[in-house]
Amino acid sequence: MATKLPRTDAVVVGLGWAGAIIANELVDAGLSVVGVERGPWRDTAKDFNIASVTDELRYAQRQELMLRTAQNTITMRNTPSQTALPMRQWGSFHPGNGTGGAGNHWAGITFRFQPEEFRLRSHLEERYGAGSIPDELSLQDWGTDWNEMEPHYDAFEKLAGTSGRAANLARGRQAGGNPFEGVRSSDYPTPPLKQPYSPTLFADTAREMGYQPFPVPSSLVSETYTNPLGVTMGPCTFCGFCTNYGCANYSKASSITTVLPTLIRKDNFEARTLCEVLRVTTDSDGRRATGIVYVDSAGRQWEQPADIVVIAAFTFENVRLMLTSNIGEAYDPITRRGTTGRNYAYQTANSVQLFFDDKNFNPFIGAGAVGMGIDEFNNDNFDHSGLGFFGGGSTRVTPIGAAPINSRPTPPGTPRWGSQWKRSTVDNYASTMSIGCEASNYASPNNYLSLDPTYRDRLGRPLLRITFDFTDNDLKMAQYVTDKVTEIAKRMNPRQMVAKPRTGPWDGRPYQSSHVVGGFVMGADPSHSSVNKYLQVWDVPNLFVVGASAFPQNPGYNPTGTVGALAFKAADGIVNHYLRRPGEMITT
Amino acid sequence: MSKTRDTAKAGGLTRRQLLGSSAALLVGASGTARALSYTDTPEWQPFSNIAATPVDDDADWQFFTPDEAATVEAIVERLIPADDLSVSGKDAGCAVFIDRQLAGLYGDYERRYMHGPFQAGTPQQGDQSPLTPQQRYRLGLASLDDHCRNTQDALFKDLGGEQRDAILAQLESGDIALDDIDSVAFFEIVLQNTMEGFFADPMYGGNRDMVAWKMVGFPGARYDYRDYIERHNEDLAFEPVSIQGRGDWSTPA
Ligand SMILES: Cc1cc2nc3c(=O)[nH]c(=O)nc-3n(C[C@H](O)[C@H](O)[C@H](O)COP(=O)(O)OP(=O)(O)OC[C@H]3O[C@@H](n4cnc5c(N)ncnc54)[C@H](O)[C@@H]3O)c2cc1C
Ligand code: SF4
């Protein structure tokens, strides 16, 4: 039995990006807030130090910062007819744990989605005709629009100190940025990062071919920056131990480098760490959340009553908590009824690898988000008439570093051990680069999240089950964009090129991206969405579920700029609308 | 100073209780970590959660029996043979690395989801074996010697280099079936751990004298390339540095 604690105004589950942003906004509005986090308190000076962060074995191989699968994992299968099995070691994605969440070990690429994205179904039907979207895709609009989103993107970039070059400012256009972006109220808070050799070579070639390359927007700050909360960050030093590592320089934005240092000092905030939330409690008719129940590391259960409950526990746990708490109706792929678990989507990761003889890229100089990109093949930036698919990807060269347990490129056919392997490893280490194309992934009725019928976590609770495979639409798109990238690669004149369009079936073993989205999506129509545009749960007005779980489908961009913007949006909904009429759905 | 709530109210131990036990300082890295409530400025101790303990290269084998260790050395010396580019995997310390990893928290998969039912799935569903790394090595090494005894009338470690290469290649391709363990799975974990040992920071027992880093030109534990990032297509000729520094930095005793 759970011991009941005194009530609080609001409880926030998860202190990663979304949870910390919302908690801070609610505290500033005068609410008493308790943040509950399943992992440990993390702090740069305690956890990430120059003297020890450069440890590839510990962080990349043994996955030090990630959630331990022993604590919680997912099960996976490609089709509804298969038996899902547990992911016993993280492969395809790398969920986080502890304050900072996945934001501690993320790469920092910080895109805004484009204006059309928020009304994707309407946009495609307007451009290509009412019947143009194939049945295998369950695309939908987000129930919000660019004008509503833009101020929140702006707030997130200012919080994170995002570096980049704007192209489309309200006061006019400027060269050197991403010409496909939506109109921005202000420029990036810090200038673009300096560029290493491989992105520069790529951008020069792309420019010659008529494309418009731009520095990848990055929440690794390029100079000392103090954010609106008064927290100061230091410049990125391109250490190359970035993706999968914590940053020792306070350069990589995360909730522990941008929000928590000030939030934790505010009187009406308390963080409880190593406390895992088990469920949301509701009143008898399920129309009001009464709080949450969590288990602490000693195994004791506590009930925390709250007037407002915010769940910001990353896509997987957002959806699992809703399923285990019986919030909304679980999605059924046969009847296509129910919304909890519906429209789960991923990212379609493609690449072309280039082997050179005469180049030295110094690949160990890198950062998760340093690089140059082009957007000509992304989303609906090109005409899809007659192509037989929708979507596209963000093409870019982002050298993340080259610690050599993982970074040992050799051409296909090279033995994996012995003298020949060694020779080839030495020959190619410094002279190989790769162009990535992080492409869209469009929701489909057979791709969904549900509770696993067999596998349970250490507390006996069902694991979340992923049923997912790439659709024909996405596989055709993958081939198309990879062909386009290959044209650029060819022009760069490498000795050898290896094109890797994403092919099916989805494979849980190799890392692809942690951009798992959907399952509790936002929209204007409760029959096809779980939350409204303020991330407020339909029919449970004092419950907000925030994160990429709200994306109805995934464009060819990384998610976190939008996760941050949605967190500000939810906070705006609570503070400026919900608190005026507590207990009601926000209707503006 | 940190304001901490009492245990019952906060749902966990107080900060002060925690700091009383140095074992519990490795919050999250060990099972002893306790739930904590934080308000105001959290008291942390600098560096409290960063230490990874360097292994003792010269100590006795900690997991392997001497026979097992000899077999592992005979494997890693063929996976990474000595040539003009580097010393062998054996001389680089790969067997010591694997031994220390198996004796540590990797060895029994303490962090891994190990609940059944265990069943074979599609390749895309990944490793579903119920065996821990310790078990994989124990069974694999014994089965490998059984195989060699049956087919060559010798132990693996006593075979010549080319014979060992041929057997390793057949394990890799699955052409040899071992008695107690899937031969491909056994080969894969040995190959993975050997490469980890060869390329990881030398503090873990492999990559002695940063031999692998010198070989490929990886500068190791450096953290600031601001002055170099725009020097394109240039050999920067960095000497590598490990987390523990470099041999020539300390005065010989
Ligand atoms: C290796 C890697 C690279 C990435 N690179 C990029 C990139 O370049 N660009 C980009 O846009 N995105 C990137 N991402 C994704 C990015 O990290 C996430 O989108 C972002 O962190 C999501 O924020 P969140 O607040 O929703 O979740 P998180 O940051 O993960 O925070 C969720 C928090 O909730 C906690 N929690 C979960 N369940 C419970 C529970 N039951 N009880 C209590 N607490 C709980 C977790 O421990 C965690 O701290 C990357 C991710 C990874 C792993
Ligand atoms: S590359 Fe930059 S942001 Fe990333 S960890 Fe290193 S210093 Fe920090």
Best to test chain B binding among A4, A87, A273, A461 (most B CBs inside 10 Å)? A273
Residue type, B16: R
Burial (CB count <10 Å: 0-12, 13-18, 19+), residue B54: middle
B234 in the Ramachandran plot: left (φ > 0), alpha (ψ -120 to 50) or beta? beta
Q: How confident is the model at residue B14 (pLDDT cuts 50, 70, 90)?
A: very low
Sign of CA dihedral A416, A421, A426, A427: negative
Q: How confident is the model at residue A159 (pLDDT cuts 50, 70, 90)?
A: very high
Query: Taking 50 as the threshold, does the pLDDT of residue B17 lie above it?
Result: no
Q: Of B23, B101, B53, which Cα lies nearest the Cα of A52?
A: B53
Residue A236 CA to ligand 2 centre (angstroms) = 5
Nearest-atom index, ligand 2, CA of A370? 1
Residue type, A454: T
Query: What string of DSSP letters covers B64-122?
Result: S-HHHHHHHHHHHHHHS--SSS---TTTTTHHHHHHHHHHSTTTTTTTS---S------
Q: How confident is the model at residue B4 (pLDDT cuts 50, 70, 90)?
A: very low
Binary contact (A89, B29; C-beta < 8 A): no
Mutate to test the pocket of ligand 1, among A17, A247, A319, A517 (most ligand atoms within 8 A of CB): A17
Q: Report the distance separating Cα A79 and Cα A469, nearest Å.
A: 7
Binary contact (A264, B226; C-beta < 8 A): no
Query: What string of DSSP letters covers A465-522?
Result: EEE----HHHHHHHHHHHHHHHHHHHHT--SEEEEE---SSP-SSS---S--B-SS-B
Q: Report the distance separating Cα A415 and Cα A405, nearest Å.
A: 16
- The token pair at B97 is 């690395």
Query: Taking 80 as the threshold, does the pLDDT of residue B2 lie above it?
Result: no
Q: Report the distance separating Cα A158 and Cα A226, nearest Å.
A: 9
The size of chain A, in residues, is 588
- The token pair at A391 is 């979507």
In chain B, the residue whose alpha carbon lies closest to the alpha carbon of A74 is B113
Q: Report the distance separating Cα A301 and Cα B115, nearest Å.
A: 23
Q: Report the distance separating Cα A409 and Cα A401, nearest Å.
A: 13
pLDDT, tens digit, 9 for 90 and up, residues A346-393: 999 999 999 999 999 999 999 999 999 999 999 999 999 999 999 999
- The token pair at B179 is 């008695």
In chain A, the residue whose alpha carbon lies closest to the alpha carbon of B235 is A360
Q: Are A132 and A122 in contact (CB under 8 A)?
A: no
- The token pair at A563 is 């996760």
Distance in Å, alpha carbon of A145 to nearest chain B alpha carbon: 38
Q: Are A229 and A264 in contact (CB under 8 A)?
A: no
Sign of CA dihedral A79, A80, A82, A84: positive
In chain A, the residue whose alpha carbon lies closest to the alpha carbon of B219 is A364
Whose tokens are 């000729």? That residue is B237
Nearest-atom index, ligand 2, CA of A366? 1
Query: What string of DSSP letters covers A81-145?
Result: TSPPEE-SS--S---B-STTGGGGS---B-PPPPGGGGGHHHHHHHHH-TT-S-TT------S--
CA terminus-to-terminus distance, chain A: 40
Contacts of A430 in chain B (CB under 8 A): 216-217
Binary contact (A73, B213; C-beta < 8 A): no
Residue A106 CA to ligand 1 centre (angstroms) = 8
Whose tokens are 């989103």? That residue is A149
Binary contact (B40, A264; C-beta < 8 A): yes
pLDDT, tens digit, 9 for 90 and up, residues A183-235: 999 999 999 999 999 999 999 999 999 999 999 999 999 999 999 999 999 99
Specify the residue with its C-alpha closest to ligand 2, atom 3: A252
Q: Which of A82, A200, A508 is facing B232, going by the closest CB pair?
A: A200
Burial (CB count <10 Å: 0-12, 13-18, 19+), residue B85: middle
Rounded mean pLDDT, B195-217: 97
Give me the pLDDT at residue B248, please: 76
Whose tokens are 């870019």? That residue is A396
Mutate to test the pocket of ligand 1, among A25, A34, A36, A38 (most ligand atoms within 8 A of CB): A38
Best to test chain A binding among B218, B228, B242, B246 (most A CBs inside 10 Å)? B218
Q: Kindly report the average pLDDT of chain B as a whole number.
A: 86
β-partners of residue A441 are A554
Q: What angle do CA A242, A562, A436 make, to 5 degrees?
A: 50
β-partners of residue A293 are A279, A303
Binary contact (A405, B5; C-beta < 8 A): no
Contacts of A62 in chain B (CB under 8 A): 106, 111
Q: Are A322 and A529 in contact (CB under 8 A)?
A: no
Whose tokens are 């996955």? That residue is A63
pLDDT, tens digit, 9 for 90 and up, residues A97-134: 999 999 999 999 999 999 999 999 999 999 999 999 99
Contacts of A86 in chain B (CB under 8 A): 113, 115, 128
Radius of gyration from C-alpha coordinates of chain B = 23
Peptide bond into A505 cis (omega under 30): yes
Specify the residue with its C-alpha closest to ligand 1, atom 37: A313
Give me the pLDDT at residue B46, please: 61
pLDDT exceeding 70 applies to what percent of chain A?
Answer: 100
Q: Kindly report the average pLDDT of chain A as a whole number.
A: 97
Task: Considering every ligand atom shown, identify the ligand nearest to the alpha carbon of residue A104 and give its number.
Answer: 1
Whose tokens are 């991206």? That residue is A513
Query: Taking 50 as the threshold, does the pLDDT of residue B7 lie above it?
Result: no
Whether the CB of A163 sits within 6 Å of ligand 2: no
For residue A243, count other CB atoms closer than 10 A to its CB.
23
The size of chain B, in residues, is 253
Burial (CB count <10 Å: 0-12, 13-18, 19+), residue A370: buried
**Continuous H helices in A300-417:** 314-324
Whether the CB of A441 sits within 6 Å of ligand 2: no
Distance in Å, alpha carbon of A424 to nearest chain B alpha carbon: 10
pLDDT, tens digit, 9 for 90 and up, residues B26-77: 333 333 456 778 776 666 666 666 667 788 888 899 999 999 999 999 999 9
Q: Are A357 and A536 in contact (CB under 8 A)?
A: no
Q: Report the distance separating Cα A10 and Cα B165, nearest Å.
A: 64
Contacts of B130 in chain A (CB under 8 A): none
Give me the pLDDT at residue B20, please: 29
Burial (CB count <10 Å: 0-12, 13-18, 19+), residue A125: middle
Specify the residue with its C-alpha closest to ligand 1, atom 14: A106
Run of H or E including B18:
helix B15-19
Best to test chain B binding among A295, A297, A464 (most B CBs inside 10 Å)? A297
Q: DSSP 3-state assignment of A35?
A: strand
Q: For chain B, which residues make up each domain, given as ranges?
A: 66-112+129-214
Q: DSSP 3-state assignment of B123?
A: helix
Query: Taking 80 as the threshold, does the pLDDT of residue B235 lie above it?
Result: yes
Q: Report the distance separating Cα A152 and Cα A146, nearest Å.
A: 10
- The token pair at A107 is 């790469």
Contacts of B34 in chain A (CB under 8 A): 274, 296-298
Distance in Å, alpha carbon of A87 to nearest chain B alpha carbon: 7
Q: Report the distance separating Cα A200 and Cα B172, nearest Å.
A: 40
Catalytically active residues of A are 515
Binary contact (B200, A56; C-beta < 8 A): yes
Q: Are A129 and A176 in contact (CB under 8 A)?
A: no
Distance in Å, alpha carbon of A181 to nearest chain B alpha carbon: 27
- The token pair at A11 is 């409880």
Query: What string of DSSP letters covers A547-563?
Result: SGGG-SSB-SS-SHHHH
For residue B31, count other CB atoms closer than 10 A to its CB.
11
Give me the pLDDT at residue B227, please: 97
Residue A558 CA to ligand 1 centre (angstroms) = 12
CA distances (Å), origin A246, targets A48, A63, A111, A371, B25: 6, 12, 21, 19, 19
Query: Taking 50 as the threshold, does the pLDDT of residue B122 lie above it?
Result: yes
Q: How confident is the model at residue B208 (pLDDT cuts 50, 70, 90)?
A: very high
Q: Of A102, A93, A88, which Cα lies nearest the Cα of A20?
A: A102
Spatial neighbors of A479 by CB under 8 A, at least 6 apart, are: A501
Give the A:B interface size as CB pairs under 8 Å.
Answer: 267
In chain B, the residue whose alpha carbon lies closest to the alpha carbon of A421 is B80
Whose tokens are 């906060």? That residue is B10
Q: Report the distance separating Cα A51 and Cα B221, nearest Å.
A: 8
Q: Which of A39, A237, A404 is facing B28, going by the closest CB pair?
A: A39
Q: Which of A238, A302, A506 is facing B124, going by the closest CB pair?
A: A506
- Residue-range domains of chain A with CATH: 3-580 (3.50.50.60)
Binary contact (A405, B195; C-beta < 8 A): yes
Rounded mean pLDDT, A63-91: 97
Binary contact (B38, A86; C-beta < 8 A): no
Q: Report the distance separating Cα A30 and Cα A353, nearest Å.
A: 53
Q: Report the distance separating Cα A238 and Cα A363, nearest Å.
A: 11
Q: Are A97 and A166 in contact (CB under 8 A)?
A: no
Residue type, B231: R
Binary contact (B12, A297; C-beta < 8 A): yes
CA distances (Å), origin A274, targets A88, A244, A295, A490, B37: 21, 21, 9, 51, 9
Spatial neighbors of A130 by CB under 8 A, at least 6 apart, are: none
A400 in the Ramachandran plot: left (φ > 0), alpha (ψ -120 to 50) or beta? alpha
Distance in Å, alpha carbon of A5 to nearest chain B alpha carbon: 7
